[in-house]
Chains A and B, each alone.
Chain A
Amino acid sequence: AQSVSQHNHHVILSEAASLELGCNYSYGGTVNLFWYVQYPGQHLQLLLKYFSGDPLVKGIKGFEAEFIKSKFSFNLRKPSVQWSDTAEYFCAVNAVWGTDKLIFGTGTRLQVFP
């Protein structure tokens, strides 16, 4: 069965610090990969996605993620965080064939202090 692990449950950073949130998945087949963000009181919004091609994908608000197939990882990065990045971040995976359900990680709460 597919599963997604996010190792950082709660990350606290100061503004301008660099961010990397880990995401690993377990599934032997071809996958689509996503990062969603949930700002306080708002809905889940897509940050970025990987379907195929260049494993380094760029998303909104300066975020990027790198798919490393050999490590089953899709870590999220941002070189310099802002206070407005305070939110919960969810990694999600779906298998390309046979299903379109998303499997989510447990989420990482990011708090950025000015």
Chain B
Amino acid sequence: EPEVTQTPSHQVTQMGQEVILRCVPISNHLYFYWYRQILGQKVEFLVSFYNNEISEKSEIFDDQFSVERPDGSNFTLKIRSTKLEDSAMYFCASSEQGGNSPLHFGNGTRLTVT
């Protein structure tokens, strides 16, 4: 069964540094998402992406965050200047038809900001 793959599985960075989290969605999917889960808290929506643009974003997704689909297969999340509170598990997901089809999640990237 096709999978969403995320790299790296664990990223440690210092506060103020930029990080890029990478995802390869399932190849025939058109909708892409990032979610995050701070330890002990809910899985939270960050952003959805369709047709090469952001279709929806949460209040968490401020100017420090950006997403990109640079080459037609990768889908990246960039955090420009990381803060301690950005430490979380970041999940990439993709779906065929947006909200009316299930999301397929990757294994996640654990981001630790020190």
Residue A106 interfacial (CB < 8 Å)? yes
Q: In the complex the two chains form, what is the Cα distance from A51 to B107 in whole Å?
A: 25
The listed residue (A42, A45, A100) touching B48 by CB distance below 8 A is: A100
Residue A89 interfacial (CB < 8 Å)? no
Residue B103 interfacial (CB < 8 Å)? yes
B42 A102 Cβ-Cβ under 8 A: no
B42 A105 Cβ-Cβ under 8 A: yes
Q: In the complex the two chains form, what is the Cα distance from A101 to B99 in whole Å?
A: 7
Chain B's closest residue to A94 (CB) is: B99
Q: What is the size category of the interface that chain A forms with chain B?
A: 20 to 34
Interface digits, A87-114 against B, CB 8 Å rule (1 contact, 0 not)?
Answer: 0001010111001111111110000000
**Which of B33, B41, B91, B103 has the most chain A CB within a 10 Å cutoff?**
B103
Interface residues in B58-114 (C-beta closer than 8 Å to A): 58, 91, 93, 95, 98-100, 102-108
A44 B99 Cβ-Cβ under 8 A: no
Q: In the complex the two chains form, what is the Cα distance from A46 to B82 in whole Å?
A: 31
B105 A43 Cβ-Cβ under 8 A: yes
B100 A96 Cβ-Cβ under 8 A: yes
Chain A's closest residue to B31 (CB) is: A100
B102 A106 Cβ-Cβ under 8 A: no
A32 B91 Cβ-Cβ under 8 A: no
Residue B56 interfacial (CB < 8 Å)? yes
Interface digits, A36-54 against B, CB 8 Å rule (1 contact, 0 not)?
Answer: 1000001111100101000
For A74, the chain B residues whose CB sits under 8 A away are none
A96 B99 Cβ-Cβ under 8 A: yes
Instruction: Identify the 6 closest CB pairs spanning chains A and B, nearest first.
Output: A100-B99, A44-B105, A104-B43, A101-B45, A100-B98, A43-B107
Q: Which residues of B approach A to under 8 Å, CB–CB?
A: 4, 31, 33, 35, 41-45, 48, 55-56, 58, 91, 93, 95, 98-100, 102-108
Q: Which residues of A approach B to under 8 Å, CB–CB?
A: 32, 34, 36, 42-46, 49, 51, 90, 92, 94-96, 99-107
11 sample A-B contacts, Cβ–Cβ < 8 Å, listed by A number: A32-B99, A44-B91, A46-B102, A46-B104, A92-B43, A99-B56, A100-B56, A101-B48, A102-B43, A104-B43, A105-B42
